[in-house]
Chain A
Amino acid sequence: MTRIRYVEPCGRARDVEVDQGLSVMEGAILNMVPGIEAECGGACVCATCHVYVDEAYGSTLCPPNATEHEMLDTVASERRPTSRLSCQIKVVAALDGLTVYLPERQT
């Protein structure tokens, strides 16, 4: 289990234990963290699972692939350097303690 912290736009934080191998998106859906729509279920085609990741983890995360990059151009809230699609972030031990910030809106 790896602990992921989800912070809503209002500042409310939720710590969730996520099984390794699941995605950060799945961790949110399975634990009822609001603010992630994930319409496509993780196929990297809907851009409704947008999060901002904690900069401290920048080097631990695999960088976005080309498709994710393209989809990130289309997110409903502002795209920032820390923007990621949470369905593309696999939860591994090294990510223990990762904080992700949820954007204002996904659609």
Chain B
Amino acid sequence: MRPPRTISIVGGGHAAAQVVASLREEGYDGRLVLFNAEPQLPYHRPPLSKDFLKSAEPQLKLIRSQAFYQTAGVDLAIGRSVTAIDAGARRLVLAGGTSHSFDAVVLCTGARPRRPALEGTHLRGVMSLRNAEDALGIRSRIAAGSSVVILGGGFIGLEISAVLSELGLSVTIVEAADRVLAPAVAPEIGRFLEHLQRSWGVDIRLNSGANRLLGSDAVEAVELADGEILPAEMVIVAAGCDPNVDLAVAAGLACADGVLVDRSMRTSRLGILAAGDCVRGPRAGIADPIRLGSVQSAMEQARIAARTVVAKATPDQAVPWFWSDQRGTKLLMAGLAAGATREVVRGNVEEGRFSVFLFKDEHLAAIHSVNAASDHMAARRALAANLLITPDQVRDPAFDLQAWSQGDRDGGRSIQ
């Protein structure tokens, strides 16, 4: 295949920034154009629900500097939204009607907050959080003593709640499931974080849901399914996100709640690849393709997409991992917990320093840790190497996880 002369990247998040960096690292020397709907250079999204909301002078953390794109020879089309892909003619159509031809395109369009079908979501003060503009909007509504209702007890909901309660707002989380962070995180950890949040004064309503949002111009309250009215100056919808697939669907690419890709990040159309939160792809050992929403997977998929474009072999997938931070309590997760059949706790739950090892039958499938970075890193190495561990070993404080992860099957126990 003739190497592409112009590669276009649609999107401006972690995946897009990494695609251009990796393409240059892989030796691609043709034209690179990055189209980003947002008015900034790609920046780190995770701080938006953490430090950015509370720091006195909030600053976006750029993933790469302006100088990087210059030196790498990337044409930046910042603040330019791509409205259509003409896959046959290999052209991108931009807002305003101009078009750009490409030899290959990588879709890195990310995801957007899910908006539930709920009366009143158009009211002023109803927010969600995905980008810098959203975060600035939430910041501008922060006032000590005011009430905020967060719809959804997922990662973003809990992180926002941790910050806003610290800033003196009165926070209520409304969650449909019987625990927070379901089903993503081990129940033990969900319960731990629920107690932690409650100890900060956060009101958590489980098995609950919003009926509608009340207000005339600005939101004033949330009506719950059981009729209770929660007054609120701000409502934050944090009910998960949906992949941005509109472009791909309109261009005729195969999509199923995500742009479908193979393990090399190729979509169903030749010359069109995709990476990051917008894709759904295969995973070794898992029957159906899955969608991951994390910085680590966005970066990994971007590196793979870049290698595919320059016709290099696709490496094996790394162990997926994710982190979350709530007022300094660090949650770290590695592996894929879906379908786990057994959970084993290691460490001290009362002291807030423990890990939950999730087994699928005999095999370790995932580990979720609270303030236990070394457990996390050891298990990540071990998951990558498919090392065996038994529930008894997990529970045994004398079993040395570090030694085990470095290949000592008995975790330092055999020498005793």
Contact = CB atoms under 8 A, between A and B. Distances in A.
A1 interface: no
Interface string B357-388: 00000000000000111100110010000000
Contact of A41 (B47, B68, B330, B378): B47
Nearest to A32: B68
B373 A70 contact: yes
A43 B325 CA distance: 9
B295 interface: yes
B409 interface: no
A43 B50 CA distance: 10
Interface string B330-361: 10100000000000000000000000000000
B346 to A, nearest CB: 15
Most buried by A among B46, B71, B332: B46
A45 B378 CA distance: 13
A73 B374 contact: yes
B353 to A, nearest CB: 10
Nearest to B61: A41
A29 B46 CA distance: 17
B65 interface: yes
Nearest to B69: A32
B373 to A, nearest CB: 4
A43 B323 contact: yes
B295 A39 contact: yes
Contact of A45 (B47, B67, B373, B381): B373
Nearest to B381: A74
A43 B52 CA distance: 13
Interface residues on B, range: 20 to 34
Interface in A1-48: 26, 29-32, 39-43, 45, 47
A59 interface: no
A71 interface: yes
A45 B71 CA distance: 29
Interface string A39-67: 11111010100000000000000000001
Contact of B46 (A32, A43, A70, A74): A43
Interface string B63-92: 111011001000000000000000000000
Contacts of A42: 61
B241 interface: no
Given A30-B62, A39-B299, A45-B330, A71 B323 contact: no
A47 B377 CA distance: 10
Contacts of B71: 32
B402 interface: yes
A29 B44 CA distance: 13
B65 A74 contact: no
A67 B61 contact: no
Contacts of B68: 32
Interface of A: 26, 29-32, 39-43, 45, 47, 67, 70-71, 73-74
29 contacts: A26-B61, A29-B62, A29-B63, A30-B62, A31-B65, A31-B67, A32-B65, A32-B67, A32-B68, A32-B71, A39-B299, A40-B295, A41-B46, A41-B61, A43-B47, A43-B325, A45-B330, A45-B332, A45-B373, A47-B377, A67-B330, A67-B371, A67-B373, A70-B373, A70-B374, A70-B377, A71-B373, A71-B377, A74-B377
Given A43-B46, A43-B323, A70-B377, 6 more contacts: A29-B65, A41-B44, A43-B47, A43-B50, A74-B374, A74-B378
Give 7 closest A-B pairs by Cβ, nearest first. Answer: A74-B377, A41-B44, A70-B373, A30-B65, A45-B323, A70-B374, A32-B68
